Amino acid sequence: MTDHRRAVLEGTRIRRTTTPTDAQVESAVLGMARDSVVVLSEVGDDHTYIQVWQRPDGLYQLEHRAGSPVEHFQTMTVSAEKVHTAFVGWLRDEDWAGAFTWKEISELF
């Protein structure tokens, strides 16, 4: 079995789940409707997470934060599969971020 972070999965139209499985993450991300959100956060740490908003125009606005406000990044993609791969990689604590070009967005907060 692959090691996973201790995480919480929550979002628009999904039930909050502690220690989600890969299948639950897949269902949450690939089943998103437009203008909905899915968040996967580290248990006990509200500042370490990956989240996605499927914008009304269909783009996926993917963000991740690694603790401090200066470690908050954003990217956009049209691919639900890439978002799913990122979420599972984050959950497994694997190298997943390299598939995207990230913009640091801490100045927005």
Q: What tens digit of pLDDT does each residue of 26-65 get?
A: 999 999 999 999 999 999 888 999 999 999 999 999 999 9
What does the pLDDT read at residue 3? Answer: 72
Indicate if the pLDDT at residue 6 is higher than 80. yes
DSSP 17-83: EES--HHHHHHHHHTPPTTEEEEEEETT-TTEEEEEEE-TTS-EEEEEEESSGGGEEEEEES-HHHH
Burial-class residue 39 by CB neighbours within 10 Å (0-12, 13-18, 19+).
buried
